[in-house]
Amino acid sequence: MKVDYRAELVITLWLIFPAYVANALPVIFGGGKPLDFNRKFLDGKPLLGKGKTIRGAIAGILGGWITAFVQNRVSLQLGLEFYSTTEGMILTCLAIVGDLIGSFIKRRLNLRQGAPFPILDQLDFIIPFILVGEYLGFISLTRALIALLLTPPIHLFMNIIAYLLKLKSNPW
């Protein structure tokens, strides 16, 4: 079977877009009380660190939900492939949870908040999204590879812009 890679690339970006929104909004709207309430883990290090805030998580989840909802409606109109609004809500939460798992791992490895961890920083939010997308049937192996290859450069590019706009204190 011949795969139209260009079409797969476009539809993959369309399908994972709510995760990008969920990952980007905390940078703009985050701040305030940390999600871990400054608690330490068993190793005496911060559970998640001050970079993961309640406001950021809520902004990411709500923004992701709205994005998935709008894309769901547009897809219905245009006859494009997309998941249900409920699935979109779950997937958006997974993007946020993936980012939290990334920070949890970084703290266990003794990396302070904001320290770079190449590849993990760029992919943590998308990995659970891809895995559940595969389970739900809309992410094939080709699409998973496209998402894993394209996300790091897109993520880095967006973060450099956020850094230049002084929304972030580092460009990764």
What is the size of the binding site for Mg ion (CB under 5 A)?
1
> The tokens of 155 are what?
């993520």
User: Any idea which residue has 């795969």 for tokens?
Assistant: 3
Residue closer to ligand CTP by CB (options 31, 69) is 31
Supply the minimum distance, in Å, between the C-beta of residue 115 and ligand CTP.
6
Considering the complex, state which of residue 36 and residue 121 has its C-beta at the smaller distance from Mg ion: 121
Q: Which of residues 13-42 bind ligand CTP (CB under 6 A)?
A: 26-27, 30-31
Residues near 97 by beta carbon (within 8 Å), at least 6 away in sequence: 128
| Selected binder of ligand CTP within 16, 19, 56, 88 (CB under 6 A) | 56
By the rule CB under 6 A, 155 interacts with ligand CTP: no
Do 68 and 93 form a contact (C-beta atoms < 8 A)? no
Q: From residue 103 to residue 132, what is the string marking binding to ligand CTP with x (rule CB under 6 A)?
A: x--x------xxx-----------------
Site membership for ligand CTP, residue 63 (CB under 6 A): no
Indicate which of Mg ion, ligand CTP, none lies near residue 30 (CB less than 5 to 8 Å, by partner kind).
ligand CTP
